[in-house]
């Protein structure tokens, strides 16, 4: 699809690590890896014959694509400190606008992989939706070509919409994982193993791969089964915050179920 590119990675965290592996597997050439920790830069760079650095001033020209995969709070600073060159610069942050590049580097865009990355788990990049935005159609084409070279689908999503997407992802991933954690707390108190819930957790996620969440909703709240809800609230009385969470969620489920959609 895309001809092979030379890519420099600014960042060596979870996202950069997974992208590096996918870029290499797709035949792209990694030129340099920057991290503020030289150790991390070296660890990642050495796997792909790239040059490590912990100096932004040492980020060289010659790559076609510069991927900025650093923490939100340092992104703008890192961009400002990187020497200008002729490549396309793109960041991978869900919540940061494309405008962070403005006034610094004209050929820019956003290359946001909508997935949760942990170093301990490999991710099939071909199943990750890439949300793209670019300063012009030329840069868009380069970014979508790189996504396609990974076997992945890409979607044009402008900065404002991407913020909403990131907010939705917080609900669907971070908050969901916290509910798993709440469930484990409840089991812990009864010395029940978390593994009991694993098939249920997986099936709940698999259901909405085909159904809409509203169609898939089950449980006491959707039919507002007052007996069970009251009983559960009593059981949670020793933990007022979990109790209030139960209350808010049950009410919202019932409200959503009562709406036409």
Distance of CA 205 to the CA centre of its chain: 17
**Cβ atoms of residues 93 and 117 within 8 Å:** no
Give the H/E segment covering residue 45.
Answer: helix 38-46
Q: Which of 57, 119, 137, 190 binds a copy of itself (CB under 8 A)?
A: 190
3 contributes a contact to a copy of itself by CB under 8 A = no
Q: Does 255 bind a copy of itself (CB under 8 A)?
A: yes
Q: Which is nearer to a copy of itself, 6 or 184 (CB)?
A: 184
In the complex with a copy of itself, the residue whose CB is nearer, 25 or 153, is 153
**Phi, psi angle pair for 88, to nearest 5°:** -85, 130
82 sits in which H/E element: none
With binding defined as CB under 8 A, does residue 227 bind a copy of itself? yes
Enter the DSSP assignment of 32.
E
Nearer to a copy of itself, 43 or 232 (CB): 232
Size of the site for a copy of itself (CB under 8 A): 91
Q: Extract the tokens encoding 48.
A: 């792909």
Positions in 149-168 near a copy of itself (CB under 8 A): 155, 157, 161, 163-165, 167-168
Q: Which helix (H) or strand (E) holds 136?
A: none
Among 21, 148, 197, 224, binds a copy of itself (CB under 8 A): 197
Minimum distance, C-beta of residue 194 to a copy of itself, in the bound complex (Å): 7
220 near a copy of itself, judged by CB under 8 A: yes
d(CA 16, CA 7): 11
Local structure of residue 134 (DSSP, 8 states):
E
Strand ranges inside 172-219, DSSP E = none
Q: Looking at beta carbons only, is 22 or 50 nearer to a copy of itself?
A: 22
Angle among Cα 160, 166, 169 to the nearest 5 degrees reads 150
In which residue are the tokens 């002729």 written?
86
Is residue 74 a contact residue for a copy of itself (CB under 8 A)? Answer: no
In the region spanning residues 10 to 69, those forming contacts with a copy of itself, defined by CB under 8 A, are none
Which span (4-12, 43-51, 101-109, 218-226) binds a copy of itself, by CB under 8 A? 218-226
């Amino acid at each position: 699809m895309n001809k092979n590119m030379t890519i420099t990675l600014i960042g060596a965290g979870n996202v950069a690590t997974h992208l590096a592996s996918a870029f290499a597997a797709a035949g792209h050439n990694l030129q340099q890896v920057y991290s503020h920790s030289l150790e991390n830069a070296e660890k990642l760079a050495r796997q792909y014959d790239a040059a490590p650095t912990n100096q932004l001033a040492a980020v060289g020209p010659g790559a076609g694509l510069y991927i900025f995969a650093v923490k939100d709070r340092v992104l703008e600073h890192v961009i400002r400190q990187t020497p200008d060159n002729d490549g396309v610069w793109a960041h991978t942050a869900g919540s940061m606008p494309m405008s962070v590049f403005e006034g610094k580097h004209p050929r820019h865009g956003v290359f946001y992989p909508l997935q949760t990355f942990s170093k301990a788990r490999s991710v099939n990049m071909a199943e990750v939706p890439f949300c793209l935005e670019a300063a012009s159609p030329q840069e868009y084409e380069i970014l979508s070509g790189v996504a396609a070279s990974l076997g992945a689908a890409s979607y044009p999503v402008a900065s404002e919409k991407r913020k909403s997407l990131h907010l939705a992802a917080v609900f669907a991933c971070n908050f969901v994982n916290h509910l798993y954690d709440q469930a484990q707390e409840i089991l812990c108190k009864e010395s029940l193993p978390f593994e009991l819930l694993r098939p249920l957790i997986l099936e709940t996620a698999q259901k909405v791969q085909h159904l809409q969440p509203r169609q898939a909703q089950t449980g006491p709240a959707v039919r507002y089964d007052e007996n069970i809800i009251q009983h559960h609230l009593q059981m949670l009385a020793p933990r007022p915050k979990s109790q209030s969470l139960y209350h808010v969620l049950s009410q919202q489920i019932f409200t959503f179920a009562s709406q036409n959609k």
